[in-house]
Amino acid sequence: MELRVLQYFLAVAREQSIVRAAESLHLSQPTLSTQIKAMEEELGKQLLIRGTKGSRKVTLTEEGMILRKRAEEILNLVQKTQKEISLSDQIIVGDVSIGTGETDAVRYIARAARKLYRDYPGIHYHIFSGNAQFVTEQLEKGLIDFGMVFGSTDRTKYHSIQMPFRDTWGVLMRQDSPLAAKDSITPEDLWDKPLIISRQENNSGALTSWINRRLSELEIVATYNLLFNASLMVEEGLGYAVGFDNIINTSGNSSLCFRPLFPERKEGMSIIWKKYQVFSKASEKFLEILLKSRFLEPETGIPE
């Protein structure tokens, strides 16, 4: 399977039309149709459902949707590799890709990047947000260089740097909710409340071990991947969101407030990267600054 044909397939998937895809690729429609048909024969699977006579729209089969996802990952990785190789003998410029969940500890990454910016302004940073599963999957596929994850890490697969601080668990709620009058939230406070929890939570996760209840015994009205989305549901009165402090701004005129859990629960985190990973020069410099600057202090002003 050629990379060129994968690009053709993605164009068809994007345009939902072989005719429009052919125009965007500056190919004839018969040529593009032949290439896609040859790919289907090579894979032994139908990838597209062609429209009936008079309709030019095509839709992806289940196998086509799988190929679309993998093709995007493959081409992104090829592009990243080409850029790293082409820049390998030049001055230190390039991209550093970092996957992380929502946490105030992203400030640590920003401080390291800022410190490096003074000497290497040609290094650019790309942050990909998601839960721990997303981060480790992206690391395994080589699509990111570093990941920031909570809890313990698999030392057989990853090197890690323990972060110098921990995030505080608590409950995000409306200012006018009954629990807002409390200074902290106990497990019993949440047993009969509509809860919005992280999609990553399971019956052996951080919440269930603290609340002393199985998820099936709680009123889970929604789950989230990013706390910002959960905060919108809280604003609309759907329920109480359990998550980390310092992610959603609850100061000033905000209609929301945050209350920590009691007994207190904090979560440590680490920056991880794959063992035996070959880094670009830009990523090497970023790792170097991380290893040297475990306790980076905030700075003021924009660097000149």
Q: What is the mean pLDDT of residues 86-103?
A: 80
Residue 123 has pLDDT above 90, yes or no: yes
Q: What are the DSSP calls for the chain, one per residue? A: --HHHHHHHHHHHHHTBHHHHHHHHT--HHHHHHHHHHHHHHHTS--EEEPPTT--BEEE-HHHHHHHHHHHHHHHHHHHHHHHHHTTTSSS-EEEEEEE-S-TTHHHHHHHHHHHHTT-TTEEEEEEE--HHHHHHHHHTTS-SEEEEES---TTTEEEEE-SS-EEEEEEEETTSGGGGSSSB-HHHHTTSEEEEETT--TTSHHHHHHTS-GGGSEEEEEESSHHHHHHHHHTTS-EEEEETTSS--STT-SEEEEEBSS--EE-EEEEEETT----HHHHHHHHHHHH-TTPPP--S---
Q: Give 294's pLDDT tier (boundaries 50, 70, 90).
A: low
Q: Do domains 92-165+268-292 and 167-266 have the same CATH topology?
A: yes
Q: Average pLDDT in the 203-231 region?
A: 87
The pLDDT value given to residue 191? 96
Beta carbons within 10 angstroms of residue 207's beta carbon = 22
For 226-262, the pLDDT digits (tens) are: 899 999 999 999 999 999 999 999 998 999 999 999 9
- Delimit the domains of the chain by residue range: 3-77, 92-165+268-292, 167-266
User: Is pLDDT above 80 for 281?
Assistant: yes
Which architecture characterizes domain 167-266 according to CATH? Answer: 3-Layer(aba) Sandwich (3.40)
For residue range 163-181, what is the model confidence (pLDDT) as tens digits?
877 899 999 999 999 999 9
> How many beta carbons lie within 10 A of that of residue 159, not counting itself?
16
Architecture of domain 3-77: Orthogonal Bundle (1.10)
What pLDDT shows up at residue 100?
A: 92
- Return the CATH number of the domain spanning residue range 92-165+268-292: 3.40.190.10
Q: Tell me the Cα Rg of the chain.
A: 24
Tell me the C-alpha distance between 170 and 219, whole Å: 17
